[in-house]
């Protein structure tokens, strides 16, 4: 096993463990912390794939901004430990677990069987994910989606303000 | 700059609409009493956009390195969306006054949602599809909850948002799997190489998840749970907008993806046929039991998603053209019906049951006649446009050896006649209730009349529209 | 050998950084005293030079008090996060050009990564966790308010900070910090090319380090001690050190981005041997950084604190539009000139 492979398995195990701890945790703040750990593990995985830009953006945007907002809201609402409403959820939860397992199983089968026509990674994805290559793609081939994203954010912003504004004049 | 110019010219309608939306945004922030200005700017902007889109139908092309299709079907759908947005904006002004929520942001959000729809129709790449869907959906979530003082409206918005976000997850996962198995997100590439990848399970899983996401947006069974509650709680014109514009937008993607070659993969044709049959049966049967007019129309919209899916399952040009015809006709008849309901509705979500329409034929004959026209058209009774839409779709199904589906469709149409005509019957053959009022402005009335006339025109001369539709793809 | 050089570099940088930080505390107290016409700490050692040592011993010996209702684990974790983030930001800062020692060219930078600026922004954005979590875990209203203020403040100013850096990136054409320094040769310092960017970045740095006049998370008159109200002993000391480390690191970042980093204008004309040039450049870097640290300190003792709404107004209605405008102008100038 190469160093990369060893690192991958360690970090991947960390990612899975933190994800499980996140959804099983009772305390919302701890869940947020585990999610941040999870994001860090993902960032390292991106680094192993030579996608430095995505890795750092993962930390900058998700761990650094979005999760801070999560934490802010949790603190503002002063959420305590989640009350257990087991009776209503138990049945649904077991069904959900079974269904999730089936989906996981199917996906594993799908990945495990290399069927005809599976293309593999395109050449562009194999080039290292530096800022330069991503920037070039973003402003040439993906110029339009990039611009539309700004429109999307603008629309979302207007929507949020409409919903949250206290008094209209 | 010079490189961009031809691209920018070819997406004229989209650009015009974006410019209008940004203009309204600016006006909203600069002017103090901005609502009338925003209203007229939006209306004028939409009319101009329609004017720009019409001549473009004859031209076929692509822009931005294969990210967008231009002209042809993209423009046809754009026109449908513009019409939906126009009618919605006109109707909603009276309605919002009643609900004490007249704010210019409403028009802005409608315009943004329309931009998203246009992108969906023009998309030649799944990334654009995703961005368009998100732009449209986020605006619709907010529009559904626009009446902030109303519990039902809030519930509608929240339900739509939670389930919609979930459905978007499916869609995105599907796109990721498609990219993983083919290395491309281009719709052109996917449709051309469908047979090559059809044996790849990863690819099929991606297609399946994509269908789940889109079926949610069109409200097909079994992804229809949100439709009645959301349509009932949302501001009435917005419900109409969701039922027509949003549905047409989702269909534009499904047609772009599946109508060309995909259906030859047998599984998908069958899958769509099952979705179609389930939607038609459930929508029509449950609609019978409704007492609330908005809920009745919600279930009817599920049924209509089923009719249109029938045309898609058929997988031939007949079926496809039938859907295109039907989507335009549906925009007029459904928005017309929702518009009339919004005229009748009174404060606090009142006057929405069938009983409230009793005797409308004698007290308000004008509204009653129009409502009857829309109900007849929705039921698919000639000479209104709704009939021909269904006709083409069912013929398509028969030609594709899916006679059973056509039979289900026809039977269910007969069922639907029951509840559509019940409203007509209540209006003309029951005694008047006291306190029946309707409030509407002259412009709204004019647009309703126009919608009814167009329905009649399309019903009498369907071939003129059909001649255009056959050149779209 | 390959591993040895980085380890030595890290140890030296960490040692110097911590030493500087410890003495910055003393400097701050002496400067404050001078501004307020007092004497300041001058008893421990010659002119109080051993004061930092005495402080450290005091903090270590003190009892570590954790409130009964606090979340023990996170309460312990928070100061560590603060300190760790403050320290690791320094990893990408070039404090000199390469130097030749024992026949080997050594780059005077711990890690030269091609996303240097993004790394700094990411670490800055993570810094908020220490404060926010300490505020939450203490289970005290003053701490919570401090934590809330801090997270909102950091998010608001991060935008302006990120946007004001982009002008510099556009000029340098790279995100690598040593490339950015290299483009600032001669008098081409970015403070001259990007005056607006410099001002917005410095103001945002003040906000991000929670220094006066943006120290609302620990505003004494309202919040007792803010986020660290419930901390004592070494854990309080860590917060204290983290604040000063952040100050030094921010000064280093500002120096690198806007003040030419280790560049000494036209030193190549002096004809000095390469080795001495490198040494002088490192010294120049240190001097620049320390002048900025003094600036931080003087600001603290001369300007009153913002009110919270003023802070938010400044962040969203002044800083953000200003940095966007700066970006636009920079883009136009680069495109058409």
User: Which residues between 90 and 119 in chain B have a beta carbon less than 8 angstroms from any beta carbon of chain A?
Assistant: 103, 105, 108-109, 112-113, 115-116, 119
Which residues share a beta bridge with B186? B125
Contact B69, B106 (CB under 8 A): no
DSSP state of B433: P
Which residue in A74, A75, A154 has the most chain C C-beta atoms within 10 A of its own C-beta, making it the best mutation to test that interface? A75
pLDDT for the residue numbered A86: 55
Stretch A106-127: mean pLDDT: 57
Alpha helices in B123-150 (DSSP H): 126-144
Q: How far apart are CA B93 and CA B40, in angstroms?
A: 11
User: What is the per-residue pLDDT for B314?
Assistant: 82
Dist CA B443 CA C269 (whole Å): 80
Among A29, A64, A69, beta carbon nearest to C136: A29
A98-107, B17-26, B114-123: range with lowest mean pLDDT: A98-107
Q: In b/e form, how buried is each residue of A48-77, taking b as 16+ CB within 10 angstroms?
A: ebebbbbbbbbbbebbbbebbebbbebbee
Nearest to C155 among A33, A69, A76 (CB): A69
Each residue of C235-269: pLDDT tens digit? 888 888 888 888 899 999 999 888 888 888 877 77
pLDDT one-digit tens code per residue, B306-338: 999 988 888 788 888 889 999 999 999 999 999
Nearest to C148 among A57, A75, A130 (CB): A75
Q: Give B103's contacts in chain A (Cβ within 8 Å).
A: 162, 168
φ, ψ for residue B290, nearest 5 deg: -80, 145
* Pick from A116, A120, A144: CB nearest B67: A144
In this complex, do A131 and C151 lie within 8 Å of one another by their Cβ atoms?
no
Cβ contacts of B274 within 8 Å, gap of 6 or more = none
B225 or C215: which leads in pLDDT: B225
Size of interface A-C (CB pairs under 8 A): 73
Q: Which residues of A touch C148 (CB under 8 A)?
A: 72, 75-76
Inter-chain residue contact A162 with B109, CB threshold 8 Å: yes
pLDDT at B133 over 90: yes
Q: State the CB neighbour count (10 A cutoff) for residue B74.
A: 32
- Among the partner-chain residues A33, A65, A75, the one whose CB lies closest to the CB of C158 is A65
Using the beta-carbon criterion (under 8 Å), do C132 and A53 form an inter-chain contact? no
**C74 vs A68: CB contact, 8 Å cut-off?**
no
Mean predicted confidence (pLDDT) in B235-251: 91
d(CA B381, CA B333): 12
Binned at pLDDT 50, 70 and 90, residue B1 comes out as very low
* Residue pair B389/B322 in contact by the 8 Å Cβ criterion: yes
Q: Is residue A110 less than 8 Å (CB to CB) from chain B?
A: yes
All partners of chain B with 3 or more CB pairs under 8 angstroms: A
pLDDT of residue B260: 63
Closest Cα to residue A20, out of A8, A37, A7, A5?
A: A37
Nearest to C279 by CA among C154, C106, C96, C102: C96
pLDDT in tens, A72-105: 888 777 666 555 555 556 777 788 888 888 878 8
Window 189-208 of B: residues touching A by CB (8 A cutoff) are: 193, 196-203, 205
Confidence of residue B435 (pLDDT cuts 50, 70, 90): low
Compute the average pLDDT of residues C141-166.
Answer: 84
Burial class (CB in 10 A: 0-12, 13-18, 19+), C28: buried
- Which distant-in-sequence residues (6+ apart) come within 8 Å of B316 by Cβ? B396, B399, B400
pLDDT band at A116 (very low <50, low <70, confident <90, very high): very low
At B58 the pLDDT is 81
Strands C104-106 and C99-101: antiparallel
| Pairs of CB atoms within 8 A across A/B | 101
Name the pTM for this structure.
0.86
pLDDT at B3 over 70: no
Q: Which residues of A touch C114 (CB under 8 A)?
A: 52, 130-131
Contact at CB, B183 and A119, closer than 8 angstroms = yes
Chain C CB within 8 Å of residue A71 CB:
yes
H or E segment at B71?
strand B68-71
Q: How confident is the model at residue A169 (pLDDT cuts 50, 70, 90)?
A: very low
Cβ within 8 Å, pair B128-A145: yes
CB-based contacts of C182, cutoff 8 Å, min separation 6: none
Length of chain A: 169
Q: Which residue has the higher pLDDT, B9 or B46?
A: B46
Average pLDDT of the residues in C309-323: 87
User: Residue A111 and residue B65: Cβ atoms within 8 Å?
Assistant: no
In whole angstroms, how large is the CA radius of gyration of chain B? 21
Instruction: Measure the CA angle with vertex B332, ends B140 and B237; round to 5°.
Output: 35
| Strand-pair partners of B353 | B292
Least confident of B110-124, B371-385, C148-162: C148-162
Q: Is the pLDDT of residue B82 over 90?
A: yes
Tokens coding C113: 């990564």
> Do A143 and B64 make contact, defined as CB atoms within 8 angstroms?
yes
Burial of B433 per CB tally in 10 Å (0-12, 13-18, 19+): middle
Q: How far is A72 from chain C (nearest CA, A)?
A: 6
Kindly identify which residue of chain A lies nearest to residue B196, measuring between CA atoms.
A117
Q: Is B346 helix (H, G, I), strand (E, B) or coil?
A: strand
Chains that touch C (3 or more CB pairs under 8 A): A
Helix H or strand E segment including B61: strand B60-63
| pLDDT score recorded for residue A118 | 44
- pLDDT interval class at A156 (50, 70, 90): very high
Contact check, Cβ <8 Å, B146/A143: no
As a three-state string, the secondary structure of chain C is CCCHHHHHHHHHHHHHHHHHHHHHHHHHHHHHHHHCCCCCCCCCCHHHCCHHHHHHHHHHHCCCCCCCCCCHHHHHHHHHHHHHHHHHHHHHCCCCCCEEECCEEECCCCCCCCCHHHHHHHHHHHCHHHHHHHHHHCCCHHHHHHHHHHHHHHHHHHHHHHHHHHHHHHHHCCCCHHHHHHHCCCCCCHHHHCHHHHHHHHHHHHHHCCCCCCCHHHCHHHHCCHHHCCCCHHHHHHHHHHHHHHHHHHHHHHHHHHCCCCCCCCHHHHCCCHHHHHHHHHHHHHHHHHHHHHHHHHHHHHCCCCCHHHHHHHHHHHHHHHHHHHHHHHHHHHHHC
Q: Are B370 and B427 in contact (CB under 8 A)?
A: no
Closest-approach residue (CA) in chain A for C116: A56
pLDDT of residue C279: 84
CB contact A87 to B (< 8 Å): no
**According to the model, what pLDDT value does residue A117 have?**
43
By C-alpha distance, which of B68, B70, B75, B267 is closest to B187?
Answer: B68
pLDDT > 70: percent of chain A: 78
Which of B67, B134, B142 is the closest to A163 by Cβ? B142
Who wins on pLDDT, C292 or C69?
A: C292
DSSP letter at B431 equals P
The Cα B227–Cα B225 span in angstroms is 6
Q: What is the mean pLDDT of residues B433-459?
A: 85
pLDDT band at B305 (very low <50, low <70, confident <90, very high): very high
Residues contacting residue B405 through CB under 8 Å, at least 6 positions apart: B273, B276, B277, B310, B313, B314, B397
Residue A128 φ/ψ, nearest 5 degrees: -65, 150
Share of chain B above pLDDT 70, in %: 95
Q: Which helix (H) or strand (E) holds B70?
A: strand B68-71
Q: Do B138 and A156 touch (CB under 8 A)?
A: yes
User: Which two three-digit tokens encode residue B366?
Assistant: 């004008």
Q: In which residue are the tokens 């991060």 written? A: C158
Q: Which residue is associated with the tokens 């690598």?
A: C176
Looking at the partner chain, which of A57, A65, A71 has a beta carbon nearest the beta carbon of C132? A71
Residue C115 above 70 pLDDT? yes
CB contact under 8 A, B183 and A154: no
Our count of domains for chain C comes to 1
Cβ distance A151 to B202 less than 8 Å, yes or no, reads no
- Chain-chain contact of B201 with A117 (C-beta, under 8 angstroms): no
For A53, which of C115, C135, C137 is closest by C-beta distance? C115
Phi, then psi, of C259 in degrees rounded to 5: -110, 25
Decide: helix, strand or coil at residue B60. strand
Contacts of B90 (CB under 8 A, 6+ apart): B43, B443, B444, B447
pLDDT tens for B142-182 read 999 888 888 888 899 999 999 999 999 999 999 998 888 88
* B133 in reach of chain A (CB within 8 A): no
Neighbours of chain A (3+ CB pairs under 8 A): B, C
pLDDT at C63 over 70: yes
Domain boundaries, chain B: 5-469
C154 contacts on A by Cβ (under 8 Å) = 68
Interchain contact, B127 vs A159, CB within 8 Å: no
Is residue B12 predicted with pLDDT exceeding 90? Answer: no
pLDDT at res. B199: 75
Q: Residue A75: in which H helix or E strand, if any?
A: helix A67-77
ipTM, two decimals, is: 0.87
Q: Which residues of C touch A (CB under 8 A)?
A: 71, 74, 113-115, 118-119, 121-122, 124-126, 128-129, 132-133, 135-137, 144, 147-148, 151-152, 154-155, 158, 175
Residue B261 scores a pLDDT above 70: no
């Amino acid at each position: 096993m190469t160093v990369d492979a060893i690192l991958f398995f360690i970090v991947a195990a960390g990612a899975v463990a933190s994800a499980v701890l996140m959804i099983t945790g009772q305390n919302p703040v701890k869940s947020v912390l585990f999610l941040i750990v999870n994001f860090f593990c993902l960032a390292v995985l991106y680094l192993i794939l030579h996608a430095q830009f995505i890795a750092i953006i993962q930390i900058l945007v998700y761990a650094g901004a979005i999760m801070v907002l999560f934490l802010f809201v949790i603190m503002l609402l002063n959420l305590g430990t989640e009350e257990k409403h087991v009776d209503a959820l138990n049945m649904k939860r077991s069904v959900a677990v079974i269904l999730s397992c089936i989906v996981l199983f199917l996906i594993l089968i799908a990945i495990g069987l290399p069927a005809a026509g599976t293309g593999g990674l395109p050449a562009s994805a194999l080039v290292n994910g530096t800022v330069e290559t991503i920037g070039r793609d973003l402003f040439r081939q993906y110029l339009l989606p990039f611009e539309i994203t700004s429109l999307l954010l603008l629309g979302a912003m207007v929507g949020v303000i409409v919903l949250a504004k206290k008094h209209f004049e | 700059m010079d490189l961009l110019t031809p691209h920018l010219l070819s997406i004229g309608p989209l650009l015009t609409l974006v410019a209008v939306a940004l203009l309204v945004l600016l006006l909203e922030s600069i002017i103090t009493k901005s609502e009338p200005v925003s209203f007229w700017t939006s209306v004028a902007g939409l009319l101009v956009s329609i004017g720009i889109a019409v001549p473009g139908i004859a031209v076929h092309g692509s822009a931005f390195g294969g990210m967008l299709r231009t002209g042809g079907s993209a423009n046809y759908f754009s026109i449908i969306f513009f019409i939906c947005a126009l009618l919605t904006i006109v109707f909603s002004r009276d309605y919002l006054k009643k609900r004490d929520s007249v704010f210019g942001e409403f028009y802005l959000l409608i315009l943004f949602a329309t931009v998203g729809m246009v992108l969906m129709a023009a998309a030649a790449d799944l990334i654009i599809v995703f961005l368009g869907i998100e732009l449209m959906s986020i605006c619709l979530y907010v529009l559904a909850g626009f009446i902030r003082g109303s519990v039902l409206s809030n519930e509608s918005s929240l339900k739509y948002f939670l389930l919609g976000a979930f459905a978007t997850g499916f869609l995105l996962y599907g796109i990721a799997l498609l990219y993983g198995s083919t290395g491309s997100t281009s719709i052109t590439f996917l449709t051309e190489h469908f047979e090559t990848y059809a044996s790849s399970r990863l690819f099929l899983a991606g297609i399946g998840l994509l269908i789940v996401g889109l079926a949610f947006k069109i409200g097909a069974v079994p992804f229809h749970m949100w439709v009645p509650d959301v349509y009932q709680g949302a501001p009435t014109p917005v419900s109409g907008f969701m039922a027509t514009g949003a549905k047409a937008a989702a269909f534009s993607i499904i047609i772009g993806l599946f109508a060309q070659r995909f259906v030859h993969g047998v599984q998908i044709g069958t899958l769509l046929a099952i979705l179609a049959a389930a939607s038609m049966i459930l929508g029509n049967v449950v609609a019978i039991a409704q007492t609330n007019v908005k809920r009745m129309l919600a279930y009817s919209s599920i049924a209509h998603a089923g009719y249109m899916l029938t045309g898609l399952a058929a997988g031939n040009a007949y079926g496809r053209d039938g859907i295109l015809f039907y989507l335009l006709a549906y925009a007029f008849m459904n928005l017309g019906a929702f518009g009339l309901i919004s005229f009748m509705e009174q404060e606090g979500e009142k006057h929405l049951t069938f009983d409230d329409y009793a005797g409308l034929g004698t007290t308000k004959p004008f509204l009653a006649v129009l409502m009857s026209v829309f109900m007849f058209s929705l039921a698919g009774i000639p000479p209104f446009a709704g009939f021909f839409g269904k006709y083409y779709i069912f013929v398509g199904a028969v030609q594709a050896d899916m006679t059973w589906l056509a039979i289900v469709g026809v039977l269910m149409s007969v069922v639907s006649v029951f509840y559509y005509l019940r409203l007509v019957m209540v209006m003309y053959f029951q005694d008047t209730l006291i306190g029946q009022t309707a409030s509407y402005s002259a412009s709204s009335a004019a647009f309703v009349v126009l919608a009814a006339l167009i329905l009649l025109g399309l019903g009498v001369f369907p071939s003129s529209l059909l001649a255009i539709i056959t050149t779209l793809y | 050998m390959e591993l040895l050089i980085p380890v030595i570099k890290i140890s030296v940088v960490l040692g110097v950084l911590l030493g500087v930080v410890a003495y910055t505390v003393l400097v701050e107290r002496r400067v404050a005293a001078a501004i307020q016409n007092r004497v300041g700490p001058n008893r421990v050692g010659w002119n109080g030079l051993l004061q930092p040592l005495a402080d450290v011993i005091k903090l270590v010996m003190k009892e570590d008090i954790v409130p009964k209702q606090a979340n023990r684990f996170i309460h312990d974790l928070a100061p560590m996060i603060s300190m760790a983030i403050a320290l690791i930001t320094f990893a990408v800062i070039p404090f000199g050009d390469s130097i030749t020692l024992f026949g080997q060219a050594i780059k005077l930078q711990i890690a030269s990564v091609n996303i240097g600026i993004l790394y700094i922004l990411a670490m800055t954005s993570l810094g908020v966790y220490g404060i926010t979590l300490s505020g939450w875990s203490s289970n005290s209203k003053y701490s919570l308010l401090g934590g809330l203020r801090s997270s909102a403040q950091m998010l608001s100013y991060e935008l302006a900070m990120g946007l004001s850096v982009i002008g510099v990136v556009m000029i340098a054409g790279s995100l690598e910090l040593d490339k950015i320094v290299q483009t600032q040769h001669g008098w081409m310092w970015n403070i001259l090319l990007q005056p607006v960017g410099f001002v917005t970045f410095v103001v945002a740095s003040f906000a991000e380090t929670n220094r006066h006049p943006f120290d609302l998370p620990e505003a004494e008159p309202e919040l007792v001690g803010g986020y660290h109200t419930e901390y004592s002993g070494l854990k309080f000391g860590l917060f204290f050190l983290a604040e000063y480390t952040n100050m030094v690191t921010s000064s280093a970042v500002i120096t690198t981005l806007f003040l030419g980093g280790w560049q000494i204008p036209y030193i190549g004309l002096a004809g000095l041997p390469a080795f001495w040039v490198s040494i002088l450049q490192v010294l120049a870097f240190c001097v620049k950084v320390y002048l900025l640290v003094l600036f931080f300190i003087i600001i603290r003792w001369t300007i009153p604190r913002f009110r919270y709404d003023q802070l938010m107004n400044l962040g969203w209605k002044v800083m953000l539009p200003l940095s966007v405008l700066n970006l636009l102008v920079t883009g136009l100038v680069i495109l058409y000139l």
